[in-house]
Amino acid sequence: MLLVEREISLPKMKTAVITGANRGLGLEFARQYRAEGWEVIACCRNPEDAVELSATGASIHKLDLQKLDSIDRFVSSLGQRPIDILINNAGIHDRSKEEGFSGIETERWVEGFKVNAIAPVLLTRALIENLSAARNPIAATIGSQAGCLTLYDTGGLYLYRTSKAAAHSAAVIMANDLKPFGIPYVCLRPGHTKTDMGGRDAPYEIDESVRMMRDVLDQVDMTQTGCFLDRTGALISWNMEEDLNE
């Protein structure tokens, strides 16, 4: 009896699943959730090299999102475990390799589509039961204004732009599919942030962008499902008219 009472009064530890958690925004999400006592299921391609991630105390899982058939195996390894937050964060955008119209590398483009647009759908779908088992589950894609067609006033960057536009589209479609399960799905815009992808000259620091996106996630409910939300929490149009990258 005493044991039962103690169990009930214990605060329930929350769990986050984060992809691309070995560096950049994903690593910082892992750090911040761990610092607040969350369990973090951190996914990355090369766990043996994930030294900083390992230092957070996250549980590290090998997951290469180009290998789409490995997603179901990863999810099976979690069993029935409730998942409170899923952050589809992993992304590919290497400016140095993205040539213009004449330099498109078809295979890389397909790889980019798998990681940026298709994997978030397959991973979220595979985790539906785990998310449904949590009290107030939330799932998100890290979106980008690079996915907004209305801002395309130059050519080039086919891989990143088209795959992020597809990721946005997939997020809205998924938000509808997830409604019967009561799982809100949103796209978050971190803003131009100093990571390997964002570059050294980006205006925002990683810890600030992640803290702000976590604050937004804290407030998300079904009224915002299918929305594109700025790190400030402001609703962004899928067809942005103004470049917000300071």
Ligand X SMILES: NC(=O)c1ccc[n+]([C@@H]2O[C@H](COP(=O)([O-])OP(=O)(O)OC[C@H]3O[C@@H](n4cnc5c(N)ncnc54)[C@H](OP(=O)(O)O)[C@@H]3O)[C@@H](O)[C@H]2O)c1
**Residue 203 Cβ vs ligand X, minimum distance, rounded to whole Å:** 9
End-to-end CA distance of the chain: 58
Q: Which of 29, 198, 213, 226 touches ligand X by CB under 6 A? A: 198
Q: Of the ranges 52-60, 68-76, 193-201, 216-224, which one interacts with ligand X (CB under 6 A)?
A: 193-201
The Cα 119–Cα 104 span in angstroms is 22
Per the structure block, which two tokens stand in for 126? 């595979």
For ligand X, which residue has the nearest CB?
24
Per the structure block, which two tokens stand in for 24? 């950049």
Residues in the chain: 246
**Residue 36 Cβ vs ligand X, minimum distance, rounded to whole Å:** 20
Helix (H) or strand (E) holding 72: helix 70-76
Q: Of the ranges 4-12, 97-105, 175-183, 195-203, which one interacts with ligand X (CB under 6 A)?
A: 195-203
**Residue 75 Cβ vs ligand X, minimum distance, rounded to whole Å:** 15
Nearer to ligand X, 54 or 136 (CB): 54
124 lies in the binding site for ligand X (CB under 6 A): no
Nearer to ligand X, 9 or 96 (CB): 96
Helix (H) or strand (E) holding 124: helix 119-126
- CA count, 13 A, side-chain hemisphere, 84: 15
The torsion defined by the Cα of 205, 172, 81 and 22, in degrees rounded to 10, comes to -30
193 lies in the binding site for ligand X (CB under 6 A): yes
197 lies in the binding site for ligand X (CB under 6 A): yes
91 lies in the binding site for ligand X (CB under 6 A): yes
Per the structure block, which two tokens stand in for 112? 């980019």
Per the structure block, which two tokens stand in for 221? 């409910």
Sheet harboring 85-88: ordered strands across?
59-62, 39-44, 15-18, 85-88, 138-142, 185-189, 228-230, 235-236
**Residue 195 Cβ vs ligand X, minimum distance, rounded to whole Å:** 3
**Residue 16 Cβ vs ligand X, minimum distance, rounded to whole Å:** 15
Query: By CB under 6 A, what part of segment 17-76 binds ligand X?
Result: 19-20, 22-26, 44-46, 64-66
**Residue 11 Cβ vs ligand X, minimum distance, rounded to whole Å:** 30
Which residues sit at the interface with ligand X, rule CB under 6 A? 19-20, 22-26, 44-46, 64-66, 89-93, 115, 142, 144, 190, 192-193, 195-198, 202
